[in-house]
Amino acid sequence: MSTPDTRVLLVREAPIFIQSVPGRSGASLPPCDVPQVEAADVWAEGLLRRQAPGLPEVSEPEVVRHYTRASLWNFNIDKGMYPLGSCTMKYNPKSADTAAAIGAFADLHPYQPDSLMQGALELMFRLERLLAEVGGFARVTLQPSAGAQGELCGLMMIRAYHQDRGHPRSRILVPDSAHGTNPASCSVNGFSTVPLKTSDDGLLAPDEVRQAIERCGPDDVAGIMVTNPSTLGLFEIHIAQIAELVHAAGGLVYMDGANLNALMGRFRPGDAGVDVMHYNLHKTFGTPHGGGGPGSGPVGVTEDLAPFLPLPTVEQDPDGKYRLEHDRPRSIGRLRAFYGNFGVLLRAYAYIRELGAEGLKQATDMAVLNANYLRVGLREFLHVPHPDRCMHEVIASDHDLKSTGVTTLDLAKRLMDFGFHPPTVYFPLVVHGALMIEPTETETPQTLDCFVETMRAIVQEAKDHPERVKSAPHFAGLKRLDEVTAARKPILRWTPAE
């Protein structure tokens, strides 16, 4: 079995400040020929330093080697498979990065007048129409900076819709298989969450929705938030029937579109009765979103909700010119500064135009095929709660390893020794000890086979030598960290010893 070489993980790299030696320099400067003046004659007293900055004094090779070695600590999609479920951490085409680096776009300032950024406005106008076509919606706003802000935006429009009709409502139905941000977005918008339980098959049943509406009273249900495919990696086959029930009660249907990479080109949510959906351009459309950003969470809406879109919108005048429209009386207002994360929008536009309709459809097909390929391989030796089908990701668990004492966390840590980034662990919460694995459409059968065989070897090791798995990772520069303390009391800057 061929696995990536992980020996580089053993490198320990001291902070560059510790490598500093007084007087050492990587710069060679000519004698200064600028007349010397007193700093106090140029700068105000409050701007003057009292002591020189504590910069490290190192040679040029030390600088290059330090940052090269440190960069190898970072796992990235260019180094190996990134099976992080629910986050769609796929390979992003370098062509999209090249497009985003075009100077005429990269050097734009968002405060330039509309007349001087016609190209950027046209790109956003066209991207909105492309996304609307993919999702089956009347309009799309490109403003939200992330999926969570997209949820916030969508729920704000749902709230505004009901208020505009003179029937404000207070409850949102949320299945237990939804993304964790859904209930939080409801609370921020002043809605209370009504939890719905999925059936034994992992799906949301229409009867569960009907009963919840009856319990709440039809006049108080503002809508439902459905993640589709769900966090269980399953397609909600009853989505159209559920939408009919919610609409009959006067509510609206919000679909979390974070997993659209399993649907685009094959299913248009708007055609199934979905009223609002956010897209994750930083997941499905070509921009990786590790490290907290950048993100982009456009929201698609039906014609009934279009008047409530946030400001500004991009419009085209009869003469063909583009402009930002700020005059929309029923708008929910502005969500963020400027218009959106333009670099992500540009990458998404390049990605969609490069693949085209057939390419997007093929990406969906490959994402689902790869996940099911993994599902069949993993279910031979791991507990897979829904072993017969999945969409873009497969859920496994540590259920069959309880007698060994090896947990999901142990499996994830041991994977690091074989050069694989661990998948998402302990989510979704409805599966105890869950491993959420998403290969995405970009991985080859050979890579997937290697991942399956590695997991098989680790599971067998858990049965034969559990302590070896429970003490992993063995080849990482840092072992098991106190993650709780690191998160609550992070040390963000180096300070010299006393």
Q: Give the model's pLDDT for residue 335.
A: 92
In the predicted structure, residue 9 carries a pLDDT above the cut 60? no
Total residue length of the chain = 498
What number of CA atoms fall less than 13 Å from residue 368's CA on the CB side?
A: 19
Residue 175's pLDDT band (cuts 50, 70, 90) = very high
Measuring CA to CA, which residue among 472, 150, 498, 93 is closest to residue 341? 150
**pLDDT digits over 240-264, tens only?**
999 999 999 999 999 999 999 999 9
Q: How confident is the model at residue 139 (pLDDT cuts 50, 70, 90)?
A: very high
Same domain (yes/no): 403, 342: no
More confident residue, 221 or 6: 221
Question: Has residue 122 been placed in a domain?
Answer: yes
Residue 42: what pLDDT? Answer: 82
**Within this chain, do residues 346 and 374 fall inside the same structural domain, yes or no?**
no
For the domain that residue 427 is a member of, what is the CATH number?
3.90.1150.10
Do both 110 and 14 map to the same domain? no
Same structural domain for residues 126 and 267? yes
Total domains, the chain:
3
Residues of the chain with pLDDT > 70, as a percent, come to 96
Helical H segments across 30-100, by residue range: 60-71, 94-100
pLDDT of residue 318: 96
Q: Is 86 domain-assigned?
A: no
In this predicted structure, what is the pLDDT of residue 408?
97
Q: What is the pLDDT of residues 60-94, one digit of tens each?
A: 999 999 998 888 777 777 788 888 887 766 677 88
Residue 252 lies in a domain: yes
Q: What is the tens place of the pLDDT at every residue in 438-483?
A: 998 989 999 999 999 999 999 999 999 999 999 999 988 778 888 8
Q: Are both 187 and 308 inside the same structural domain?
A: yes
The verdict on 315 and 391 lying in the same domain is no
Q: Based on the domain organization, do 401 and 465 belong to the same domain? A: yes
Mean pLDDT of 343-351: 94
Looking at the structure, do residues 145 and 5 belong to the same domain, yes or no?
no
Domain match, 303 and 166 both: yes
* Residue 490 resides in a domain: no
- Whether 226 is in a domain gets the answer yes
How confident is the model at residue 498, as a pLDDT?
Answer: 67
User: 11 lies in which domain range?
Assistant: 1-74
Structure tokens at 419: 């050069």
Check residue 195 and give its pLDDT.
95
Q: What is the pLDDT of residue 494?
A: 84
Distances (CA, A) of 495 to 54, 62, 195, 477: 10, 20, 48, 22
CA angle at residue 423 from 388 to 451, to 5 degrees? 70
Query: What three-state secondary structure class fits 254?
Result: strand
For residues 430 and 405, membership in a common domain is answered with yes
Contact indicator for 378, 399 with CB cutoff of 8 Å: no
**Does 496 fall in a domain?**
no
Q: Does some domain include residue 203?
A: yes
pLDDT at 13: 81
Per-residue model confidence (pLDDT) at position 75: 79
Average pLDDT over residues 396-425: 95
Beta strand pairing status for 171-175 and 139-141? unpaired
Evaluate whether 186 touches 155 at the Cβ level (below 8 Å): yes
The answer as to whether 81 is a domain residue is no
The helix/strand count (H/E) of the chain reads as 14, 12
pLDDT at 136: 98
Q: What rounded mean pLDDT belongs to the chain?
A: 91
What are the tokens at 319? 């003469």
Place of tokens 């590790």: 290
The CA–CA distances, whole Å, from 366 to 149, 215, 263, 350, 437 equal 29, 42, 11, 20, 15
CATH number, position 219 = 3.40.640.10
Residue 2, pLDDT score: 53
DSSP code per residue over 300-311:
EE-TTTGGGPPB
3-state secondary structure of 12: coil
Predicted local distance difference test score (pLDDT) of residue 493: 86
Summarize pLDDT for 82-136 with one digit per residue, the tens: 888 877 666 778 898 899 899 999 999 988 999 999 999 999 999 999 999 999 9
The predicted pLDDT at position 217 comes to 86
Give percent of the chain above pLDDT 90: 73
Give ∠ CA 222-310-236 in degrees, rounded to 5: 45
Computed on alpha carbons and rounded to an integer, the radius of gyration of the chain in Å comes to: 26
Give the domain-ending residue among 314, 332, 353. 353
User: 10 Å Cβ neighbour count for 321?
Assistant: 13
Both 116 and 11 in one domain: the answer is no
pLDDT value of position 253 = 98
> Residue for token digits 């320990």?
12
Mean pLDDT lowest for which of 25-39, 187-201, 241-255, 445-459? Answer: 25-39
**260-304: pLDDT as tens digits:** 999 999 999 999 999 999 999 988 998 866 555 678 999 999 999
- Provide mean pLDDT across the span 207-217: 95
Task: Check residue 394 and report its DSSP letter.
Answer: E
What pLDDT, on the 0 to 100 scale, is given for residue 351? 94
Asked if pLDDT for residue 359 goes beyond 90, the answer is: yes
In this structure, are 184 and 100 located in the same domain?
yes
Domain end among 330, 353, 376: 353
